[in-house]
Amino acid sequence: MKSHTEYLWMDTSRRKELVHLTPALEGILERSGIREGMMLVSAMHITSGILVNDHEPGLHQDILDWLERLAPEDPGYLHHRTGEDNGDAHLKRILTHHQAVLPVTEGRLDLGPWEQVFYAEFDGQRRKRVVVKVLGE
């Protein structure tokens, strides 16, 4: 079995943002030379996640609004006693997951008809990274 690893650097302009990763992931897959296997996409920061969903701006806003209702910005989080102000971002990450495993078939990401991959940032405006590891033959 072969493996190939690359890192994507995220520099978001907003504190909360979804970044479309699918084209970059397709490039990584092509460089890997792997035709059959799996791709792991993992956010390497505890205030960000990975989503697989539709590439539709209204849905993206719905997702961000839903997460805000479930884990609102609130100065009362105990985590803020450490001097941080991002307690909500940690909770949002739990709700979205930190990684996704994607199937690779015949050298392509084997996604559903509307599925796309996104980096979900909840405490942005600073440099963060995503690890992408492709395993297979």
Report in angstroms the alpha-carbon separations of 16 from 39, 86, 92, 94, 136. Answer: 25, 11, 10, 15, 34
pTM of full prediction above 0.85: yes
Q: How confident is the model at residue 3 (pLDDT cuts 50, 70, 90)?
A: very high
DSSP string, 35-55: -SEEEEEEE-STTEEEEEE--
For the stretch 20-75, pLDDT in tens is: 999 999 999 999 999 999 999 999 999 999 999 999 999 999 999 999 999 999 99
Integer Rg of the chain from CA: 16
Domain positions in the chain: 2-72+84-136
Structure tokens at 131: 């690890």
Q: What strands, in cross-sheet order, belong to the sheet with 17-20?
A: 17-20, 116-121, 48-53
Q: Is 97 left (phi over 0), alpha (psi -120 to 50) or beta?
A: left
What was the pLDDT predicted at 55? Answer: 98
What was the pLDDT predicted at 23? Answer: 98
3-state secondary structure of 90: helix
Looking at the structure, give the CATH architecture of the domain made up of residues 2-72+84-136: Sandwich (2.60)
100 DSSP β-pair partners = 41
What was the pLDDT predicted at 9? Answer: 97
For the stretch 120-137, pLDDT in tens is: 999 999 999 999 999 999
